[in-house]
Amino acid sequence: MNIGVVGVNHNLAPISVREGVSFTDLQKIEAINYLLDKEIEEVVILSTCNRSEIYIQSKDIKEKIKMIEQFYESFFECPDVSNYLFTKSGREAIEHIYNVTSGLDSIVLGEDQILGQVKDAHVFSMQLGSSKKIFNKLFREAITTAKNMKSTTKISQQPLSISYIGVKFLEKRLGELEGKNALVIGVGKMSKLTMKHLEEEKVNTIYVSNRSHGKIKEIQHEYKNIVPIEYKDRYKVLNDVDMVISATASPHMVIKYEEMPKLQKQVYMMDIALPRDIDPKINDIENAEVYDIDDLKKIHDENNERRKELANIGYEMINESIDEFLEWVDSTHIDPTIESLNDKCLEIREDTLEYIFRKLNLDTREKKVIDKMMTSALKRLIREPIINLKQTKDKGKREEYMKLVEELFEL
């Protein structure tokens, strides 16, 4: 099986390494085009706050996997990344794609956000032409299986997103969140979920700041107690809040150590962005505590054991789907034979029609009728052999049939 994956994720690599090999969309385009030029047939890049993974489909998969390992080091100028890279190939790589898509390889077991991220990564590659027949089938099956698994097991029913865990983490530090004030930086999906959870915890005021101030106004009607803050004024409210939660897509720090004011009371800062939004040096400032995504690993949710039980059902569903996918891949080996058979019929059709039209004086309508009848007859002739070839499960017998068809029809 010529499918492989190389990358880093939360299982092996700390956040400092993950943020160093995080792809922007422009970098994805550059990387995909480079890899296609290196005779890799299909490429999908998945880059999130918890993982940076390159999926490939190619001949000489072991050789290409080694090339991807070297690519990570050179592309990001990060020689240490080799200590944290993982590689998988064949069925193991396919299982990884399914597990990631289903949320079974996430920090929060069964979380939903990754499903959309995988779908977006696949669409991105399709638009670039780097996801073709094999990956289109694989990723669509993984996405469909993930949806079916979540619908069947309800594994994602409890709100255990990174945003939710971040809020619960802060609640443990503050004792309770009711009546407290918060500053949320960013208005993306994670920030919106954060605001929703903060409102559920009856936080008093939620100050919201974003580089594009207009985007805050677009969502203001969705929340009861948010107060828009100009991006340049974000430091001014730090002494008015008990907590800060930042989740932007900025490539740079949005809360910097050198710009911090003197804090009059304890402020807890939760950085759920990657690359990180909040300078970790702020931990050295009096009355400031900074936490990031890796700190959330330490939380043991009471529903996690139940999720593990449900995950076992998910693994069974995934294995069934993988078996079907591998059968489909195996059946594609007969595609060249079928294509040759169709080409042979097309050749016979064209030669025969040319002879008939040369011998008979037919009008346009009569020619179309004969053409249609000829095409239909030839399709009927090869229909049963093709169906039987596709339905033959025994690989050895199928190879024998393919060779026989090729010899009989001189393909």
Catalytic residues: 49
Please give the C-alpha separations between residue 245 and each of 28, 59, 228, 248, 331, in angstroms, as whole numbers.
Answer: 28, 46, 15, 10, 51
Provide the angle, in degrees to the nearest 10, between the axes of the packed helices 113-128 and 91-101: 120
Residue indicated by tokens 């995909």: 32
Measured CA to CA in angstroms, residue 212 lies from 227, 250, 388 at distances of 15, 12, 60
Cβ pair 167, 192 in contact under 8 A: no
- How many alpha carbons lie under 13 Å from residue 251 in its C-beta half-sphere? 8
Extended strands (E) in 42-156: 42-47, 51-57, 86-89
Backbone φ and ψ for 286, nearest 5 degrees, come out as: -60, 135
Half-sphere exposure of 237 (CA within 13 A, CB side): 22
Tell how strand 205-209 and strand 181-185 pair up.
Answer: parallel
Peptide bond into 275 cis (omega under 30): yes
Annotated binding-site positions for NADP(+): 186-191
Helix (H) or strand (E) holding 4: strand 3-9
Q: What is the DSSP string of 160-224?
A: --HHHHHHHHHHHHHS--TT-EEEEE--SHHHHHHHHHHHHTT-SEEEEE-SSTHHHHHHGGG-S
CA 105 to chain centre: 12
Task: Give the span between the Cα atoms of 15 and 9, in whole angstroms.
Answer: 9
Helix (H/G/I), strand (E/B), else coil: 68: helix
Please state the φ and ψ torsions of residue 88, each to the nearest 5 degrees. Answer: -140, 150
β-pair type (181-185, 288-292):
unpaired
Distance, CA of 174 to CA of 80 (rounded, Å): 37
In this structure, what token pair is assigned to residue 112? 């939903």
Annotated binding site: 48-51, 106, 111-113, 117, 186-191
The binding site for substrate consists of: 48-51, 106, 111-113, 117
